[in-house]
Chain A
Amino acid sequence: MIKKIHNTICDEVGFNTFFKKYSKDLHDFLYYKFGNHLNPKDKVQEAFIKLWENCAKVQPEKAKSYLFTIGNNLMLNEVKHQKVKLKYNEKPQKHHTNENPEFLMEENEYLNKLQTAISNLTEAQRTAFLLNRIEGKKHKEIASLLDISTKAVEKRIYGALKKLREDIKEL
Chain B
Amino acid sequence: MNTKDLIRKWLDNELSPEEFQAFKKLEDYKELIALDNGLKQFKAKNFNTDMELERLTSTLKKKSKKQTSWLKPLLRVAAILAICFGTYYYTTTLETSLKTLTAQKNTINLPDSSSVTINASSSLTFNKHNWNDNRIVSLKGEGYFKVAKGSKFKVNTSAGIVTVLGTQFNVKQRANYFEVTCYEGSVKVEHNLKSVILKPGNSFLVIDNNYINKTPITRTTPSWIDNESNFTSMPFKTVISEFERQYNVTFNVNTINEEQLFTGSFTHNDIDLALKAITLPLNITYVKTDSTIMLKSE
**A and B are interacting partners:** yes
On A, residues with C-beta under 8 Å from B are 16, 19-20, 23-24, 27-28, 31-32, 36, 40-41, 44-45, 48-49, 52, 86-89, 91, 110-111, 114-115, 118, 130, 132-136, 138-139, 154, 157-158, 161, 164-165, 168
Q: Which residues of B contact A130 (CB under 8 A)?
A: 39, 42
Q: How many A-B contacts at CB < 8 Å in the complex?
A: 89
B42 touches A118 (CB 8 A): yes
B26-44 contacts to A, CB under 8 A, are 31, 34-36, 38-44
Known: A23-B47, A49-B56. A133 touches B63 (CB 8 A): no
A44 touches B63 (CB 8 A): no
Q: Which residues of B contact A115 (CB under 8 A)?
A: 42
Q: Which residues of A contact B53 (CB under 8 A)?
A: 16, 19-20, 23
* In the complex, B59 has a CB within 8 A of chain A: yes
* In the complex, B66 has a CB within 8 A of chain A: no
A103–chain B nearest beta-carbon distance, Å: 13
Interface centre among B38, B49, B52, B59 (most CB of A within 10 A): B38
A41–chain B nearest beta-carbon distance, Å: 7
Q: Which residues of B contact A44 (CB under 8 A)?
A: 47, 52
B49 touches A24 (CB 8 A): yes
Known: A32-B44, A86-B42. A23 touches B12 (CB 8 A): no
A134 touches B42 (CB 8 A): yes
* In the complex, B13 has a CB within 8 A of chain A: yes
The 10 closest A-B pairs by CB, nearest first: A31-B44, A88-B41, A24-B47, A27-B47, A114-B38, A86-B42, A133-B39, A28-B44, A134-B43, A88-B42
A141 to B44, CA, bound (A): 18
- The A interface is mostly helix, strand or loop, or mixed, namely helix
Q: Which residues of B contact A161 (CB under 8 A)?
A: 7, 11, 35
On B, residues with C-beta under 8 Å from A are 7-8, 11-13, 31, 34-36, 38-45, 47, 49, 52-53, 55-57, 59-60, 63
Query: Residue of A at shortest CB range from B38?
Result: A114
Query: Residue of B at shortest CB range from A89?
Result: B41
From B7, B36, B52, A23 is in contact (CB under 8 Å) with B52
List 23 interface pairs A-B (beta carbons < 8 Å), by A numbering: A16-B53, A20-B49, A23-B49, A27-B44, A31-B45, A45-B55, A45-B56, A45-B59, A49-B56, A86-B42, A89-B41, A89-B43, A111-B38, A111-B41, A114-B35, A132-B11, A133-B36, A134-B40, A135-B43, A161-B7, A161-B11, A161-B35, A164-B35
Query: Residue of A at shortest CB range from B4?
Result: A158
